[in-house]
Chain A
Amino acid sequence: GQSLEQPSEVTAVEGAIVQINCTYQTSGFYGLSWYQQHDGGAPTFLSYNALDGLEETGRFSSFLSRSDSYGYLLLQELQMKDSASYFCASPGVAGNMLTFGGGTRLMVKP
């Protein structure tokens, strides 16, 4: 089996930097993905890490440390529109279905 743990809520102010952590326990490891979901909307893909290190995509970056079974999503220059839920996800077996963490609700305040 596999499980991914995330904080349930994070609050930050506009313009700040926030880090959302994800720790995982999986029978195998085939990469860590991040998805964003606005209230009432569908999850959308943000990033994927297969190897250790930092992947940067604009204001969003994702980090992975396989030795620590840990990853995080870093959001810079926060904007109000970044208020959403963020999910980490991983397949337990190569090419298999994704298991999602419980999600972190990010609230950005003015």
Chain B
Amino acid sequence: GAGVSQSPSNKVTEKGKDVELRCDPISGHTALYWYRQSLGQGLEFLIYFQGNSAPDKSGLPSDRFSAERTGGSVSTLTIQRTQQEDSAVYLCASSLDGSNSPLHFGNGTRLTVT
């Protein structure tokens, strides 16, 4: 079946511009996660959605970052007024029920801020 789909796969933007990254989770998965990974580094948690509960936004690095999940499915991560330090791969993952179910990751969006 279809896995987690992210778009675009690559995004180059100028400093100060806003960007939107999209994630289509696996159908039926109630939990959705956004992580950020800089080159050669670990996965930095950004935000977590579980069903209809309020999202866990504790990992968002600044108020320039926001995310929403519509209809319990598709999610959009928005970065406003991008900075060069925002350059990274943004990974989305979904899991069946957010407990200890395995995370299924998309291939990520590589964001480059020039």
Interface residues of B (CB under 8 A from A): 33, 35, 41-43, 45, 48, 50, 56, 59, 91, 93, 97-100, 102-108
Q: Is the CB of B41 within 8 A of A102?
A: yes
State the interface size on chain A (CB cutoff 8 A): 23
Main SS class of interface, A: loop
Q: Is the CB of B102 within 8 A of A48?
A: yes
Q: Chain A contacts of B100 at CB under 8 A?
A: 30-31, 33, 48, 50, 91
Q: Is the CB of B42 within 8 A of A42?
A: no
Q: Nearest chain B CB to A81's CB is how many angstroms away?
A: 18
Q: Chain A contacts of B97 at CB under 8 A?
A: 95
Q: Is the CB of A97 within 8 A of B33?
A: yes
User: Which residues A76-104 have CB closer than 8 A to chain B?
Assistant: 87, 91, 94-103
Given contacts A30-B100, A91-B100, A97-B33, contact A42 B107 (CB under 8 A): yes
Q: Is the CB of B56 within 8 A of A96?
A: yes
Q: Is the CB of B107 within 8 A of A95?
A: no
Interface residue? A69 (CB, 8 A)? no
List 17 additional A-B contacts (Cβ < 8 Å) besides A43-B93, A103-B43. A31-B100, A35-B103, A42-B91, A42-B105, A42-B108, A43-B103, A43-B105, A95-B50, A95-B97, A96-B48, A96-B56, A97-B33, A97-B45, A97-B48, A97-B59, A100-B42, A103-B41
Q: Chain B contacts of A94 at CB under 8 A?
A: 99
